[in-house]
């Protein structure tokens, strides 16, 4: 393992032992001098090669982690095809092909944010309610430990417990403050229930609005298009005076402009923001590995622009949903999704540095 006075974390290869072990403190940012460098040596995979940290508030705080990567491999809350349970591991695998150093921002993401991987939330097969409660509990532990969370699903029912965790955290620590909720998706996902069930992947926004500290003034949707958006879903957003930014408007006004709009709305007067980003908001040409791929979506370049703009504002929880590597033989989807997170963190680091702030 490698460590330094400035950086108490040990970069993976924490899974490697023996005479070819990299020991230099900056081995994760430079071309490897030995055989077990950062690239092509997956070993026991963690996101970005970060150390594993138990999802416990005391452990997270002890590590000084400011970003916790947490997997939620649950896909039985979906009304479309399954496969998203492999999403978290797909992101981890993609991250083995990259260094944590991002030259465009001149920042080592791993040590700037003291990233840790808190593993996967344990899932109870067939029990959506209990599995969602576990997701809520694990996200809450990371937040209470002083970190922000990169939460990777899993189907798009994951934001229901994810947003609830942020709501509970905010209520316990800043009871008079509000939170924002953003929904970036091909679908409006505003089913009050689906066949009588309220906690499906089509119910995130409706459940978010029920949270005591979340209100319509700090909510917004972006990316909707095509025919899998029934009228009652649209009615939810209109009746609650929450803006819908369809894909046609993103095309007309630009992804950066519209991303600024929704984030400024979410942060206006609030102290925390939950951002739920469904991978099917991207076009199927660059994101085939998602549970419900659709045409006429955000392209790969726009997705990175969106992530970079998002990083200027930040989010207490950034959740990425519906990634399904099983449907992507080329692995382009999980690499793009991984890069979306990397660019978000890189842009976030620069924004903090410009303001003289630390994570």
pLDDT in tens, the chain (359 residues): 233 445 555 554 445 556 666 667 777 777 777 655 555 555 578 999 898 999 999 999 999 999 999 999 988 877 778 888 999 999 999 998 899 999 999 999 999 999 999 999 998 888 888 999 999 999 999 999 999 999 999 999 999 999 999 999 999 999 999 999 999 999 999 887 777 777 787 899 999 999 999 999 999 999 999 999 999 999 999 999 999 999 999 999 999 999 999 999 999 999 999 999 999 999 999 999 999 999 999 999 999 999 999 999 999 999 999 999 999 988 999 999 999 999 999 999 999 999 999 99
Q: What single DSSP character describes residue 84?
A: G
CATH class of segment(s) 47-354: alpha beta
Peptide bond into 17 cis (omega under 30): no
Angle between helices 300-313 and 255-267 (to 10 degrees): 30
CA distance 173 to 166: 11
Between helix 128-144 and helix 159-173 the angle, nearest 10°, is 40
**Residue among 198, 202, 203, 204 at smallest CA distance from 166:** 204
Residue 80 CA: distances (Å) to CA of 83, 156, 173, 256: 10, 10, 37, 30
C-alpha 304: how far from chain center: 14
Domain range annotation of the chain:
47-354
SS3 content of the chain, % helix, strand, coil (to 5): 40, 15, 45
Concatenate the DSSP letters of all residues of 272-293 into one string.
Answer: EEEEEEEGGGBBTTT--SBSS-
Residue 154 backbone class (left: φ over 0; alpha: ψ -120 to 50; beta: rest):
left
- The residues, ordered by sequence, that sit 6+ positions from 257 with a Cβ below 8 Å of its Cβ are none
CB 52 within 8 A of CB 117: yes
Do 274 and 182 touch, CB atoms closer than 8 A? yes
For residues 79 and 292, what is the distance between their CA atoms, to the nearest angstrom? 10
Residue with token string 């040409």: 285
Predicted local distance difference test score (pLDDT) of residue 64: 95
**Do 333 and 303 meet the contact criterion of CB atoms below 8 Å apart?**
no
Q: CA torsion 313→262→165→150, rounded to 10°?
A: -50
- The token duo for 345 is 């963190």
């Amino acid at each position: 393992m490698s460590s330094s006075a400035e950086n108490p974390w040990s970069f993976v290869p924490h899974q490697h032992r023996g005479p070819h072990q990299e020991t230099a403190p900056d081995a994760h940012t430079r071309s490897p001098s030995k055989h077990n460098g950062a690239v092509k040596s997956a070993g026991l995979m963690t996101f970005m090669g970060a150390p594993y940290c138990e999802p416990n508030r005391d452990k997270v705080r002890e590590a000084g982690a400011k970003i916790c990567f947490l997997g939620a491999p649950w896909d039985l809350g979906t009304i479309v095809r399954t496969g998203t349970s492999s999403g978290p591991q797909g992101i981890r695998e993609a991250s083995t092909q990259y260094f944590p150093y991002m030259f465009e921002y001149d920042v080592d993401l791993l040590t700037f944010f003291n990233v840790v991987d808190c593993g996967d939330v344990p899932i109870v097969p067939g029990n959506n309610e209990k599995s969602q409660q576990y997701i809520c509990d694990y996200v809450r532990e990371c937040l209470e430990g002083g970190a922000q969370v990169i939460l990777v699903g899993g189907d798009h029912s994951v934001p229901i417990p994810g947003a609830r965790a942020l709501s509970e955290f905010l209520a316990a620590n800043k009871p008079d403050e509000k939170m924002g909720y953003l929904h970036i998706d091909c679908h409006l996902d505003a089913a009050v229930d689906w066949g009588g069930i309220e906690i499906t992947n089509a119910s995130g926004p409706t459940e978010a609005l029920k949270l005591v500290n979340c209100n319509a003034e700090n909510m917004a949707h972006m990316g909707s298009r095509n025919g899998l958006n029934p009228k009652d879903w649209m009615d939810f957003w209109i009746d609650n005076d929450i803006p819908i930014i369809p894909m046609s408007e993103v095309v007309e006004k630009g992804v950066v402009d519209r991303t600024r709009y929704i984030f400024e709305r979410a942060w206006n007067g609030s102290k925390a923001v939950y951002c739920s980003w469904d991978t099917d908001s991207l076009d199927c040409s660059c994101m085939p590995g998602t549970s419900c791929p659709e045409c006429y979506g955000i392209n790969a370049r726009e997705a990175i622009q969106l992530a970079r703009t998002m990083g200027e504002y930040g989010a207490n929880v950034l959740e990425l949903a519906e990634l399904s590597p099983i449907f992507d033989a080329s692995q382009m989807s999980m690499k793009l999704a991984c890069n979306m997170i990397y660019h978000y963190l890189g842009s976030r680091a620069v924004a903090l540095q410009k303001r003289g702030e630390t994570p």
